[in-house]
Amino acid sequence: MKDPKILKNGDFVCYTVYGVLKRERFEILRRYSDFDALRESLSERFPGMYIPPIPSKKAIGNKSSAFIEERCFMLNMFIKQLSRCPYLIESQEFQIFVKPSGTALQRELTLLPSLSPENQLVRIQNYYSFIGGITDS
């Protein structure tokens, strides 16, 4: 992440998120609320799985350069930790985060289909194996 900017008459800060995913480069501007929406969506759709933390929301004093730099550092750590979790970085949620479609991110994440517990398990089985069998008895 780089280059935090205060935009729209000083109403909010945007952060430039960049990287390579599936051999494709991406670079996109994201607000704190976008990171928050991504984390919330991942937490809901990967229950019980590790989801890295993000810095807490701060309403007052959130435009100082020291605060913006610290938040940028913490959001960068969030992205780096996501990249160490294949089940997160390869998720549909993260794909939506890095590839804008013109629709608001929060809306796009909420439009993802609900997952049954069985579908949630299938999602993570490719990344984890269990020793021994799981039986109903």
Q: For residue 77, tell me if it sits in a domain.
A: yes
With respect to residue 136, please indicate whether it lies within any of the assigned structural domains.
no
User: pLDDT per residue over 70-94, tens digit each?
Assistant: 999 999 999 999 999 999 999 999 9
- Total domains in the chain come to 1
73 Cβ contact partners less than 8 Å away, ≥ 6 residues apart: none
Which domain range does residue 41 map to?
A: 2-125
Is 7 among the domain residues? yes
Question: Using H for helix, E for strand and C for coil, what is the string for the chain?
Answer: CEEEEEECCCCEEEEEEEEEECCEEEEEEEEHHHHHHHHHHHHHHCCCCCCCCCCCCCCCCCCCHHHHHHHHHHHHHHHHHHHCCHHHHCCHHHHHHHCCCCCCHHHHHHCCCCCCHHHHHHHHHCCCCCCCCCCCC
Would you say residue 121 lies in a domain? Answer: yes
> CATH code at 78?
3.30.1520.10
pLDDT > 70: percent of the chain: 89
- Is residue 130 pLDDT above 70, yes or no? no
Query: 96 pLDDT band (50/70/90 cuts)?
Result: very high
Tell me, yes or no, whether 38 lies in a domain. yes
In a domain? residue 133: no
Q: What is the pTM of this model?
A: 0.84
